[in-house]
Chains A and B, each alone.
Chain A
Amino acid sequence: MSQTIDIVRGIVREVCPPGTPEIDDPDKAFADYGLDSLDISGVLLACEERFGVKIADEDIDRLTTLSGLVAYLDRAGKP
């Protein structure tokens, strides 16, 4: 979990526009940090590539926080 969360934080920094705040509260919604639907698409694609997992369309609506995404990735595959 701790390793995955660091990797995903790094992905958010890399993929999202400059000025996007650091996601310090894993339970706070991505949207509250200013991420829009396209930012989230970019983050999810980078996670799929980094972790070698496929994130199904029907799961997207539940992946609204860092903690939720990390738990999903830990369940679906290994870093």
Chain B
Amino acid sequence: MTVTVLRAIASYVPGTAEYNAEKAERFSIAPGFIDDKLGIARVSRMAPGEDTGDLCERAFAALEKRTGLDRHAVDCIVVVTQNPHGGGLPHTSALLHGRLGLVESCASFDLSLGCSGYVYGLSVMGSFMRANGCARGLLFTADPYSKIIDADDRDTVLLFGDGASVTLLETAPDDADGWRPARFRFMTRGADGDALCVRDGRLTMKGRQVFNFSATAVPPLISAMLADAGVALEDVDRFLFHQGSKYIVDTLRQRMKLPEHKVPLKLYDQGNTVSSSIPLMLQDALDDAELWRIVLAGFGVGLSAASCLLERPC
């Protein structure tokens, strides 16, 4: 019996950014709203000339530096994105495959998902790797919304930031050390998909609809997943929610009656980085010796939600 183990995560957040305080007056926003509700001081932005594949490459460089990964030993790569490099052809994972000089036997494909994409990616890659005898895979996330944001739209321009992550996954015996997905749950409400979509090349969001979906759909999704796994809510050490805004994370925490220390926030310096927001938090949690169970929950575009229980053996 084998499992898929998360060996390491690395990320890249561009150094350039837009500062929300500078936009507050233009959009008639109270300063307290930015800190207390959005929880976002700055939104990261790709440099001119940078694109999705470049962000992935930077994240990979950080992973390679940290782990000494042999890039010739990578059997598959997946890029989660809905804003692919260039015009989208070829797919970003193939572009990346070429740039990184990976072996030709390495499978490469993209996954078109937004804020739930990292959790979906863990499930898809785990299944793909075990089904096809892959020993090692890389799961990238990079969805730079700066490519589609309307600079005059206060509902989105203050929220979304650019970033990328890469997770090194390995197929291992089930008694191996390390974090592994123990259970997943997914849900979709496609009928409300226009709440967060692209029209005429520009991102539009019905904030109330997305908020209502997230606040009402995610808690029961997590409860059902934990019931499947036979794990009590109190026995989970961390809940890593997609960082849509501080307000939605606080709302989920209150609705699920979770203590504040179990629900970290990480969006103040970069904003909502879509499918990268969970791995940006998880990269710190993976090395925390005090943690044994972590719940991940991504939600947004689709409308779609996905949850995962991660565990590591005692």
Show the binding face of A for B, using Cβ within 8 Å. Answer: 17, 36-38, 41-42, 44-45, 48-49, 57, 60
Contact with A along B233-252 (1 / 0, CB 8 A): 00000000000010100010
Is A41's CB under 8 angstroms from B211's CB?
Answer: yes
Does chain A have a CB within 8 A of B199?
Answer: no
Does chain A have a CB within 8 A of B23?
Answer: no
A-B contact pairs, 25 of them (CB 8 A): A17-B36, A36-B30, A36-B33, A36-B37, A37-B207, A38-B33, A38-B37, A38-B211, A38-B245, A41-B207, A41-B208, A41-B211, A41-B212, A42-B211, A42-B215, A42-B247, A42-B251, A45-B211, A45-B212, A45-B215, A45-B216, A48-B212, A49-B216, A57-B208, A60-B208
Is B247's CB under 8 angstroms from A38's CB?
Answer: yes
Does chain A have a CB within 8 A of B188?
Answer: no
A61 CB to closest chain B CB (Å) equals 12
Does chain A have a CB within 8 A of B99?
Answer: no
8 A Cβ contacts from B32-70 to A: 33, 36-37
Chain B: interface size category: 10 to 19
Collect the chain A residues with CB atoms within 8 Å of residue B215's CB. Answer: 42, 45
Dominant SS at the B interface? helix
In the complex, A44→B36 CA distance in Å? 19
In the complex, A12→B266 CA distance in Å? 27
Contact with A along B201-219 (1 / 0, CB 8 A): 0000011110110011000
Collect the chain A residues with CB atoms within 8 Å of residue B207's CB. Answer: 37, 41
In the complex, A37→B36 CA distance in Å? 13
Which residue of chain B has the shortest Cβ distance to A37 in the bound complex? Answer: B207
Is B247's CB under 8 angstroms from A57's CB?
Answer: no
In the complex, A48→B33 CA distance in Å? 24
